[in-house]
Chain A
Amino acid sequence: MNYAQHVLTHLRKDLRLEWRTKDSINGMLFFALLVVVVLAMAFDPASYPDMTRQISGGLLWVALLFAAMTALNQSWARETHNSVLDAHRLSEAPASALFIGKALANFLFVSAVEVVLAPIFTVFYNLQPLGQTWKLLIILPLGTWALVVNGTFFSALSLRTRNRETLLPLVLLPISMPALLAMIQATTAVLTGQFEPTLWIKVLLAYVIVFTTACVLLFQTVLSAD
């Protein structure tokens, strides 16, 4: 119970800070909208509805990935400012609670962007899913968590490096490839209705379980590093 309270305490703090500054959401939203609009202008989605269905999953996730990266890069900046991270390192609260609280906050921020982006994306690309649309309610949160949990972890890992803004995409993109593949395939399956997304959802779920566990277990080491 105490652990959950610690997670909740961190989460509440991050939500309050974001509410006051809107650093993450504004940047992400602007970036994601730009990507969607620019890509929609690069080709004419209305003229090629089948092709649009085939590639929309990829476009959506790539837009979200790059947008999330702008926020993830900044997610620990608040903790390093005024050396607050040192206070966390001395605190008796479990380090993993800090990590989970921050990952949950990032998850909520990216989800909020998805909520705004999804209808705009649907309109711009004239999308009419041919598969079971309700499965997107599983794929979107799972995919978002997969991006966010690794992003939060590697963002913390790159805190003490000089080129952390360059380092995060260099580390995060390769390690997110299996998840990215699974979420794109699952989304494409729902949009085209040509194949079942179940296998890809299972792959995504396995990825999420493995990487969440690894990140939670390793975070104490990352936090304690000199």
Chain B
Amino acid sequence: MAIGKDLSAAPTTRPDGVAPAKPGVSPPPRTPSATEAPAVELQRVSRLYGSFVALREISLQLAPGSSVVMLGENGAGKSTLLKVIAGLQSPTYGEVRIFGESPRDLRGAVAYMSHATMLYDELTGMENLTYFAGLQSSGPQFKGSARSNRSRRARLRDHAAQALTEVGLDPANPRRVGEYSQGMRQRASLARVLLSEPDLLLLDEPFSNLDVGSAHSMITRLLTYLAQPSPSGPARTLLLTTHQAELARPLAQSILTLSAGRLISLQETLPVKTTADEPAQRESVQ
């Protein structure tokens, strides 16, 4: 299944029987040209844990600029799929290409936010972010500033402070991440993944344990991020898993559904701005 490339070429029927994308429902202007390599390309990917099949022959194409919400019950294989796409786990069978390359050759271009914070509990948010900024310092966001007279450390701190501020955290907060509330941890984790300005953003249940207000702030930040042009070329692509489909609706250009390791459907959604569109949207989500 492919999404976000050329909607006019979308098939009228799908092999899985799911309704095709509706004509005229195109993603925002981040849609790239057809000559670009897909942001994510999976060819008959399966992943086994011993005899347990977590993913079954998943084939999928997401164009650069896609924003996809992945739904599915617990154990459907959502987290495994994200890890396989991120290159954290190899597929047992099949092939994964990210922007035309193997995920393991693309370090830095893909960011993954898991259930865990991926931060050090003993460091403050600012210390964590400065550390991770230091590891990303050869990234495009640092180019140009290298000639400035300001020290590298100061630039890293500024970058980290900005990332924290953008997710609503105070860079001067002296509390360690281990002492943060769950919502603050999630936001700090989001700040970490956005720090490297990745071209592909993989988020595993980013809204779990968040109140509605915090979740909306996170969505706003993600929308802002996706709308910005990527310094490294391809349009920014998002793939996130959630159990809160309604909450994630503003991010859902497409909805991908997994069940028991199988890809059930990949549907484009209608724009969410008008109330008239809502029934169609809900139907699509279901």
The reply to whether A83 and B90 form a contact with Cβ atoms under 8 Å apart is no
Contacts of A92 in B (CB 8 A): 107-108, 135-136, 138-139, 196
Please count how many residues in chain B sit with their CB below 8 Å of the partner chain's CB atoms: 32
User: What DSSP secondary structure best describes chain A's contact surface?
Assistant: helix
Give the CA-CA distance A213 to B88 in the complex, in Å.
25
A-B contact count (CB 8 A): 77
The reply to whether A84 and B90 form a contact with Cβ atoms under 8 Å apart is no
Contacts of A13 in B (CB 8 A): 120, 123, 131
Q: Contacts A91-B135, A92-B138, A92-B139 hold; do A82 and B111 have CB atoms under 8 A apart? A: no
Q: Contacts A92-B139, A226-B90 hold; do A16 and B112 have CB atoms under 8 A apart? A: no
A80 to chain B, nearest CB (A): 10
Q: In this assembly, does A9 line the interface, its C-beta being within 8 Å of a C-beta of chain B?
A: yes
The reply to whether B127 and A16 form a contact with Cβ atoms under 8 Å apart is yes
Q: In this assembly, does B62 line the interface, its C-beta being within 8 Å of a C-beta of chain A?
A: no
The 8 Å CB contact of A82, one of B121, B134, B152, is B121
Give the CA-CA distance A216 to B255 in the complex, in Å.
43
Contacts of B118 in A (CB 8 A): 82-84, 86-87
Contacts of A84 in B (CB 8 A): 118-120
Please count how many residues in chain A sit with their CB below 8 Å of the partner chain's CB atoms: 25
Q: Contacts A91-B132, A226-B89 hold; do A5 and B122 have CB atoms under 8 A apart? A: no
Q: Contacts A16-B127, A20-B122 hold; do A2 and B90 have CB atoms under 8 A apart? A: no
Binary flags per residue of A68-88, CB closer than 8 Å to B gives 1, else 0: 000000000010011110111
B87 to chain A, nearest CB (A): 7
Give the CA-CA distance A13 to B130 in the complex, in Å.
10
Contacts of A120 in B (CB 8 A): none
The reply to whether B119 and A82 form a contact with Cβ atoms under 8 Å apart is yes
Q: Which residue of B lies closest to A80 (CB)?
A: B116
Q: In this assembly, does B230 line the interface, its C-beta being within 8 Å of a C-beta of chain A?
A: no
Q: Contacts A5-B152, A91-B108, A92-B108 hold; do A21 and B134 have CB atoms under 8 A apart? A: no
Which 4 residue pairs across A and B have the least CB separation, nearest first? Answer: A92-B108, A9-B134, A83-B116, A93-B135
B: residues with CB less than 8 A from A are: 86-90, 104, 107-108, 110-112, 114, 116-123, 127, 131-132, 134-139, 152, 192, 196
